[in-house]
Amino acid sequence: MTPFVFNTTKSVQFGAGSLARLGDLARATMGARVMLVTDPGMMATGIVDRAQAILLAAGLEVILFSDVQPDPPEAVIHAATDAAIAAGAQGVIGLGGGSSLDVAKLVALLAMGQETLTGIYGVGNAKGPRLPLILVPTTSGTGSEVTPISIVTTGLAEKMGVVSPVLIPDFALLDPELTYGLPAHVTAATGIDAMVHAIEAYASGSTNNNPLSRILALQALRLMGSAVLRVVRDGADHQARGDMLLGSMLAGQAFANAPVAAVHALAYPLGGHFHIPHGLSNALVLPHVLRFNSVTAPDVYAEMAPHAFPHLDVLQGQERAAAFCEALADLSRDCGLPQRLRDMAITADWLPRLARDAMNQTRLLINNPRPVTEADALAIYTAAF
């Protein structure tokens, strides 16, 4: 068997109502002063108030940073880090969607004062140490609570990643109840985002693609394939909410070790330039990238297909792979998501610029099962237009 490395969060705690454990976890692993990182949208839900009350009841002092923005720019990372240092934070808790969790990871690292943000971009450049870190996701999409990755918007539009095992948190606390109020469009976009993580991990061309990631990816697809549409149609389906949150985490474990590829590479410029939410950016290009890949690598998609969509089991080979691409496109459409780039006010003259920018994502493109040239990227964007 080919050697591989598999890293994940030290402890995953899952269950409805598990937010109540946050105080005990923080008190056992952190000092008396903790920073809670979140965003304005979360502040309006009442969940942050509950978390603060739990932490205060455990005897902890809470420093609140609630200014996280979607696709967080460097300025937000610096502001949160400065606040943590000024307050003498002894631990960091991220509460919210992927942006809040990504910011929390970097604050825990940079607040130690031994590294700079510009010095840790890329793979393996962040060395640590970091402050104790607990992540509490409130969406079922990013899997950030179990990944060694944080994404930052640099300059006006480009996204860069910090990738290092030191970013993997000490605890992931997954409470499905925190996702019950998610709007249908957020549920749909984040759910398909999680499916993309599983699909790209399973098909990853990384030398570290491994049996554990593939097993986790297939289980994630089994959970998410039916749950996403069920929850979009009935937000009160608590079983499906739990399936989505667990599936998202399993997909996160998979792609944390068998990295994602061209879907993400082509999605990032959409978010950077047009501020399209990451999950929706992935959904817009997903079927088109998979159609491109399945020309030369149909087997991996044929293998995945019946796990997400059991009715495809009657098909074989290239036919099954093609049907998988169409089923994913149908799922996105049935969930009510926009289907074309033009639906997002993107004009045709932008497509060459998007293709050029996508080629900067070499960290991701190297993992694609089929090589992608700039001309290929332009053709994919054109198909998605």
Domain shared by 149 and 203, yes or no: no
Q: Is residue 88 part of a domain?
A: yes
Which of 157, 178, 199 is the C-terminal boundary of a domain? 178
In CATH, what number is assigned to the domain containing residue 345? 1.20.1090.10
Residue 314: its pLDDT value, please?
Answer: 97
> Of all residues in the chain, what percent carry a pLDDT higher than 70?
100
Say how far residue 82 (Cα) sits from the centre of its chain. Answer: 25
Taking only the tens place, the pLDDT of each residue in 331-383 is: 999 999 999 999 999 999 999 999 999 999 999 999 999 999 999 999 999 99
Say how far residue 350 (Cα) sits from the centre of its chain. Answer: 26
Q: Is residue 195 part of a domain?
A: yes
Taking only the tens place, the pLDDT of each residue in 84-112 is: 999 999 999 999 999 999 999 999 999 99
Residue 361 and residue 304 in contact, taking contact as beta carbons nearer than 8 Å: no
> Of all residues in the chain, what percent carry a pLDDT higher than 90?
94
Domain shared by 145 and 289, yes or no: no
Residue 330: its pLDDT value, please?
Answer: 96
Taking only the tens place, the pLDDT of each residue in 73-88 is: 999 999 999 999 999 9
Domain shared by 346 and 200, yes or no: yes
Residue 181: its pLDDT value, please?
Answer: 87
Question: How far apart (Å, rounded) are the C-alpha atoms in residues 159 and 14?
Answer: 31
Angle between helices 262-274 and 278-294 (to 10 degrees): 140
Q: How confident is the model over 237-264, as a mean pLDDT?
A: 97
Q: Which long-range contacts (CB under 8 A, 24 or more apart) does 47-50 make?
A: 47/19, 47/95, 47/138, 47/178, 48/95, 50/19
Residue identified by tokens 């996204």 is 159
Q: In what order do the strands lie in the sheet with 171-174?
A: 11-14, 171-174, 133-137, 92-96, 33-37, 61-65
Q: Is residue 6 part of a domain?
A: no
Domain shared by 140 and 239, yes or no: no
Q: Is residue 2 part of a domain?
A: no
Q: Is residue 3 part of a domain?
A: no
pLDDT class for 55, splitting at 50, 70, 90?
very high
Domain shared by 173 and 70, yes or no: yes
Residue 155 scores a pLDDT above 80: no
- 299 residue type, one letter: D
Residue 157 scores a pLDDT above 80: no
Domain shared by 44 and 58, yes or no: yes
Domain shared by 234 and 317, yes or no: yes
Residue 156 scores a pLDDT above 90: no
Residue 297 scores a pLDDT above 80: yes
Domain shared by 161 and 36, yes or no: yes
Domain shared by 320 and 360, yes or no: yes
Which of 142, 160, 178 is the C-terminal boundary of a domain? 178
Residue 71: its pLDDT value, please?
Answer: 87
Q: How confident is the model over 177-182, as a mean pLDDT?
A: 93
In CATH, what number is assigned to the domain containing residue 82? 3.40.50.1970
Q: What domain range is 268 assigned to? A: 183-384
Domain shared by 190 and 150, yes or no: no
Q: Is residue 5 part of a domain?
A: no
Task: Give the burial string for 155-192 (b: 16+ CB within 10 Å, else e).
Answer: eebebbbbbbebbbbbbbbbbbbbbeebeebbbbbbbb
Q: Is residue 1 part of a domain?
A: no
Domain shared by 164 and 213, yes or no: no
- Pairing verdict, β 149-154 and 158-163: antiparallel
Residue 159: its pLDDT value, please?
Answer: 83
Question: How far apart (Å, rounded) are the C-alpha atoms in residues 247 and 196?
Answer: 12
pLDDT class for 243, splitting at 50, 70, 90?
very high
Question: How far apart (Å, rounded) are the C-alpha atoms in residues 361 and 350?
Answer: 18
Residue 309 scores a pLDDT above 80: yes
How many structural domains is the chain composed of?
A: 2
Q: Is residue 188 part of a domain?
A: yes
Which of 178, 207, 226 is the C-terminal boundary of a domain? 178
Domain shared by 296 and 325, yes or no: yes
